[in-house]
Every structure is written in structure tokens, then in C-alpha cells.
Structure 1
Amino acid sequence: MAARKVALPAGWTRYEGPLLTIWRVRYERIYGEGSAEHYADGMFVRDHRRPIAQWINYSAKSAILVAPETPAAWPVQRFAIYYAPPGDGLEPVLTARHEWQPRGPRGSTTDADAFAAAVAAAEQFLVAEAAFGALG
């Protein structure tokens, strides 16, 4: 099944560079200095586990992140989606679980399948969030 192309809301763009510092800064603003190093295998500190996907809205000072959240040794791996709303804060985006079993049976969900589903969910969240914001 081919991935459906979602038109991103105005101001949002996919960011292909390294992990944005907004993730560490906002997490540590909430939970204290140095706390990001220990959360979800350090996902807010370094992008050592790829793939990741990020979108940014420079004018709103907000971003979205899709990244692996489980330690690499766990039998079930999962991608998480996080939203840094305009201004401040950091919120997990709750959607279907985007996970796979690295040693799962042939024909089961793969990391590529889970990543593609998480990216699609993040883009759908952006569209919904923009529509909701337009109501205010």
C-alpha cells in the first residue's frame, strides 16, 4: 500500500538535519538539568538511533519528532511521537502503537513499516492541530 502524501499546514516543514536541541531543552526545563540523558535511551540528547523524522515551524517555535523510544536490546521496539507546542512544553502524541519485533516471524511488521506509520500519524497530527488552532 503506497503512503498517502499529506499536505503540511502553512509554516511547517520537514527538517532533515541532526536532532533539534528543542527536545533536550524542553524536556530538561520540565524534569531538571541532565534528565534527558536518561529518558528513553537518550532519544532527546542524541540521534544515535535512526531513523528519526522531525518537522519544525520556525515562526511558531514548535516542532514534531518521531524517534525510537525503547532501548535497542528490548524484544519489542517502538517509535514515539513528541510535540513541542508553540512557546513551551513537550507532549507525547498518543496514537496507535508504532512497534515491531526485531526477531518477529517473517511477514510481521518491520521497523520500516512502523516508522512509515509513525511518520504518517505525526503528519496527520500536524494537520489536526493546525485545524484546531484555526478555530481559536
Structure 2
Amino acid sequence: MPKILLVEDNEMNRDMLSRRLLRRGAEVLIATDGAQGVEMAQAERPDLILMDMSLPVMDGWEATRTLKAASETKEIPIIALTAHAMAGDQEKCREAGCDDYDTKPVDFARLTGKIQAILGEGSLK
């Protein structure tokens, strides 16, 4: 059962994604801002982080850079989730240290494929 940290400030997105991930067999941890996401990643060491990029307190770009700069969290894969779908946004996410990128609204089948590509086939039911 993969442990996934969902860092998302929008309650509807958080609820939808967490319920669907739980149904697919993941353990889901939730943070509602970037600073809380960094703290939870350091304490819980999830297998994967789904990082909204537009977050309060500390945005997803800064949270990702912080996690990738720390030796204890730099190996945790991060998938950026963002409504920013303009040219250059994917590169900006990768430059911050994200391992992959997906746009909102989230296409759950596509996101599941990206999660399984990182964690391995069969990581989600």
C-alpha cells in the first residue's frame, strides 16, 4: 500500500482525490499548505507527493525546492498538480524539482498512470 502525501488547499479537490486514492488502496496523508506539506513529508516519509503549486503560506514551487534540497526527502517523487497549463509551466515545475506534472482539473486515470509509472505497476488497485 503506497503512502501518498496530498498537498492541496482546495477542499473539493482534496476530498475527490483522497477518496479516489483510498479506493485504489493508497494510504493518504493530507496537508493544506506548502509549509505543512514540507513538515509532513519530513515526518512521514511518503512514497510519493502530489503537490498543488498554488498554495497558501508556502507555494508548491518553494515547498518542492525545500524538499528536494533536504537529504532526507530529496528522493521522494513529487508530481505537480496545477491549473497552470501555459507553455513553460511544466518546465517551471521540473526546474523546481518535480518528477512529473499534471494539470487540473485532474484526469484521475491519467494521474493514476503517472503514479504507477513512478511507483511501479500494481502500486494502486
TM value normalised by structure 1:
0.28
Which structure has the bigger radius of gyration? 1
The structure richer in helix per residue is 2
